Amino acid sequence: MTKNSILFLVGIAIVLVLGFLMPWVLKNPFYFFVGYVVLQYVTIATGWNILGGYAGYINFGAAGFFGAGVYLSAFLFTTLGLPLPLCILAAAIFGAVLGLLMGYLTLRIQGVYFAIATLGLVVVLETIVHNIPALGGASGMAVYGPRQPFWSPGPSQFNFTVMLIIAAAAVTLARFVEISWIGRGLRAVRASEDAAECSGVPTLRLKLLACALSGAVLAAAGAPYPFYTSYMEPVTAFSLIIGLNAIAMPLIGGTRSWVGPVLGALLLASVQQIATVTISSELNILFVGLVLIAFVAFAPGGLAELFGRKQRRARS
């Protein structure tokens, strides 16, 4: 294991320990209520970036995977009484299968056609949920989550810690993909698919793998959501803002490394939460749009590349 990998794992361990301890130090549950959303977007942005960032295949269907995770998890918990970790695991597996299916049907097309095809996934899944009364149909249904365990002081703090664990697992997976032969192959695909194929890279299989991993993370991000809100409805679970943020956050943070989506999500989701409380929740989308335009125009490599460039300049 390299020195960087050890440092990374130590960092993840420290974050997790802090995540378990903080609920006992900070007494106001609102921080954890807001923190949950930020971590949810860290997970979503990280999952999206495995396919959209590393392989360069822009997926507009993130909300489809997220919503699938929301509904499957709630269904398994309320009807079968499965414990929360199993619900999350099942959602991740379902997301991976959904990703494989989407990939198999769409990966032979590229560019804007691929993006449009993925957008169709959200519409299809949302329509299916609308027509299943057992899932609450269009009006949605109330979901009562598990009681918080002894090691957590309240439900908001518990949801926060669960989301932190999922986010940490997602970031660890993304980093593993990035530094391994998988990531190198995906980045080669992004640069030139023909050149990658002629260098021995099994491009189609690698893209399918990226679809599966990305789908798994996105669906896992949605799994605890019904317990966080105690209510689920198609409009929220398959919301446009989830799909928009999934793209905007990695683009703002930088798509070439696992750091980018984390930075982008921390920045954008935090500002969105502050704007929601202090100004208006409707301004969120306007804010996302403005920041996205600014980054595409002035820092197309995102925050990660901007910091990297400054560091290199300082060193030289």
The yes or no reply on residue 256 touching another protein (CB under 8 A) is yes
Q: Which is nearer to another protein, 147 or 312 (CB)?
A: 312
- Give CA–CA dist 75/225, Å, rounded: 12
- Stretches 21-29, 113-121, 183-191, 228-236: which one binds another protein (CB under 8 A)? 183-191
Per CB under 8 A, contacts with another protein among 162-181 are 181
The yes or no reply on residue 203 touching another protein (CB under 8 A) is yes
- Stretches 13-21, 99-107, 142-150, 187-195: which one binds another protein (CB under 8 A)? 187-195
- Stretches 95-103, 143-151, 199-207, 273-281: which one binds another protein (CB under 8 A)? 199-207
Quote the least distance from Cβ 53 to another protein, whole Å: 10
Q: Which is nearer to another protein, 111 or 202 (CB)?
A: 202
- Exactly one of 191, 274, 277, 279 binds another protein (CB under 8 A); that residue is 191
- Exactly one of 67, 185, 250, 264 binds another protein (CB under 8 A); that residue is 185
Quote the least distance from Cβ 303 to another protein, whole Å: 16
Cα distance from N-terminal residue to C-terminal residue, the chain: 29
Beta carbons of 246 and 122 less than 8 angstroms apart: no
- Stretches 24-32, 168-176, 182-190, 272-280: which one binds another protein (CB under 8 A)? 182-190
The yes or no reply on residue 202 touching another protein (CB under 8 A) is yes
The yes or no reply on residue 195 touching another protein (CB under 8 A) is yes
Angle between helices 62-75 and 203-222 (to 10 degrees): 50
Q: Which is nearer to another protein, 120 or 308 (CB)?
A: 308
Beta carbons of 41 and 263 less than 8 angstroms apart: no
- Give CA–CA dist 191/197, Å, rounded: 11
The SS3 of residue 231 is strand
User: Strand 231-232 vs strand 141-142: parallel, antiparallel, or unpaired?
Assistant: antiparallel
Say how many residues touch another protein, by CB under 8 A: 19
Token output for 254: 């930088």
Quick one: DSSP state of residue 316? -
Q: Which is nearer to another protein, 20 or 176 (CB)?
A: 176
Q: Which is nearer to another protein, 174 or 220 (CB)?
A: 174
The yes or no reply on residue 188 touching another protein (CB under 8 A) is yes
Q: Cβ contacts of residue 291 below 8 Å, gap of 6+?
A: 248, 252, 268
- Among left, alpha and beta (phi > 0; psi -120 to 50; other), residue 128 is alpha
Beta carbons of 213 and 177 less than 8 angstroms apart: yes
Token output for 316: 């030289």
- Give CA–CA dist 272/266, Å, rounded: 10
What residue ranges bind another protein (CB under 8 A)? 181, 184-185, 187-188, 190-192, 194-203, 256
